[in-house]
């Protein structure tokens, strides 16, 4: 029963990483070994759960969740991850806090952190601000710890920002590792990260940026496809190209969904707002200019409507390798004829991949739990070893 868990422990012992007391904000800031460590820990924690063995490594402590945007999967994944490890969850509701009365980030960060171990933040609404806000919180925590205000410095996990969505992309990567057998087997595989039509606008850039920023680390052939004018943050695309060169993979940008789908092993059709639109949207949001926002929405929806052909259909799926590419989505998808009249994916395609999609989403709690554990424990392998030795059954 514990042979597989032992293999996870051995893998962790042989992997060089330095995640202890380090925030997890962008995947491309982490080494290959550190990414491997998170994946291995996530798999080990899933193994424990599947075999009804307790993974509680905390007997007290808080995991603070701060969602500055709506969420279903990530919100519940964060709560599930904290509960799995034995941490209680407390939401920071800005509307019910003193933040609305002018309390500073510096003060709020210290006040919520006295007995906290992890702070998870989702802040993806304002381009140029979400990741910067997380780093501002981190700096405030550093200061409070150095001043002796905090007995320990909580770790920060990026639950989605304007630049990256690391818990999503890492969950996607673990799904691919499971589907294809190993990280080594991903080398040379083609993934098409493509824009897709949506009857809404303003969707963040962080998912496509997260995918190209992570999958190029593993020797994959990454195609980023979008209609002209729907580009991502230029620096992220540039980073993806550098990483592809270093890993022996390939990264290219095309303006055809069909070209990206051709011979693809994996497809990821997902709508997002153009970089230049998100910049304007952020400007209007800062000014609280509702009229300008309404005008921008009308303009963008009209532009989106020019590209309704950017839909993941049965015909496009036939272009993929042997017509059997794995379909990915971060969910919720805009399903044509189901959640909207016309959208990102045909209903028949989505339904055929519905179960694998739900399994893809199911890896996220374990990824988040792995990030928590790696942040708080200097040697995660030792923690797993104790769990294996104690063999404490979960109470159901």
| Amino acid 393: pLDDT | 83
Structure tokens that stand for 348 in this block: 């028949």
Alpha carbons 197 and 257: distance in angstroms, whole number: 11
**Helix (H), strand (E) at residue 289:** none
Residue of 278, 13, 304, 310 lying closest to 5 (CA atoms): 13
| Amino acid 1: pLDDT | 41
Residue appearing with tokens 């001043």: 147
pTM above 0.85, yes or no: yes
Identical fold for domains 3-164+364-390 and 168-361, yes or no, is yes
- Radius of gyration in angstroms for the set of CA atoms belonging to the chain, rounded to a whole number: 21
Query: Which stretches of the chain score pLDDT less than 70?
Result: 1-3, 96, 100-101, 395-396
| Amino acid 391: pLDDT | 77
Alpha carbons 352 and 327: distance in angstroms, whole number: 9
CATH of domain 3-164+364-390: 3.40.50.1370
| Amino acid 69: pLDDT | 84
Q: Is 35 helix (H, G, I), strand (E, B) or coil?
A: helix
* Domain layout of the chain by residue ranges: 3-164+364-390, 168-361
| Amino acid 395: pLDDT | 67
Please list the residues that pair with 393 across neighbouring strands.
Answer: 53
Kindly indicate whether the domain formed by 168-361 is annotated with CATH number 3.40.50.10440: no
Alpha carbons 202 and 70: distance in angstroms, whole number: 13
Alpha carbons 307 and 313: distance in angstroms, whole number: 14
Max CA-CA distance within the chain? 62
N- to C-terminal Cα separation, the chain: 20
């Amino acid at each position: 029963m514990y042979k597989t868990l032992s293999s996870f422990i051995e893998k962790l012992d042989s992997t060089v990483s330095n995640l202890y007391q380090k925030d997890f904000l962008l995947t491309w800031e982490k080494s290959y070994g550190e990414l491997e460590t998170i994946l291995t820990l996530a798999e080990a924690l899933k193994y424990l759960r599947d075999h009804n063995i307790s993974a509680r490594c905390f007997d007290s402590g808080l995991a603070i969740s701060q969602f500055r945007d709506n969420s279903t999967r990530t919100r519940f994944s964060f709560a599930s991850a904290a509960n799995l490890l034995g941490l209680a969850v407390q939401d920071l509701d800005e509307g019910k806090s003193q933040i609305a009365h002018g309390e500073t980030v510096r003060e709020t960060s210290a006040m919520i952190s006295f007995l906290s171990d992890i702070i998870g933040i989702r802040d993806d609404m304002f381009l140029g601000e979400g990741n910067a806000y997380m780093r501002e919180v981190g700096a405030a925590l550093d200061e409070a710890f150095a001043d002796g205000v905090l007995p320990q410095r909580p770790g920060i996990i990026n639950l989605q920002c304007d630049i990256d969505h690391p818990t999503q992309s890492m969950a996607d990567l673990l799904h691919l590792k499971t589907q294809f057998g190993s990280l080594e087997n991903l080398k040379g595989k083609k993934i098409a990260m493509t824009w897709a039509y949506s009857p809404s606008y303003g969707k963040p850039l962080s998912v496509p940026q997260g995918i190209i920023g992570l999958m190029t680390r593993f020797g994959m052939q990454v195609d980023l496809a979008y209609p002209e004018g729907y580009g991502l943050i230029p620096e992220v695309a540039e980073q993806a190209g550098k990483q592809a060169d270093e890993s022996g993979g390939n990264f290219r940008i095309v303006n055809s969904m069909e070209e990206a789908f051709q011979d693809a092993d994996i497809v990821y059709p997902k709508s997002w707002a153009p970089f230049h639109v998100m910049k304007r949207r952020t400007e209007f949001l800062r000014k609280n200019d509702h009229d300008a926002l309404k005008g921008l929405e009308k303009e963008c929806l009209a532009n989106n409507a020019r590209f309704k052909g950017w839909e993941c259909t049965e015909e496009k799926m036939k272009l993929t390798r042997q017509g059997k590419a794995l379909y990915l989505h971060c969910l919720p998808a805009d399903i044509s004829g189901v959640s909207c009249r016309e959208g990102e994916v045909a209903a028949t395609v989505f339904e055929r991949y519905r179960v694998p999609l739900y399994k893809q989403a199911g890896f996220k709690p374990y990824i988040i739990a792995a990030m928590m554990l790696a942040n708080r424990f200097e040697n995660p392998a030792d923690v797993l070893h104790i769990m294996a030795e104690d063999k404490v059954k979960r109470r159901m």
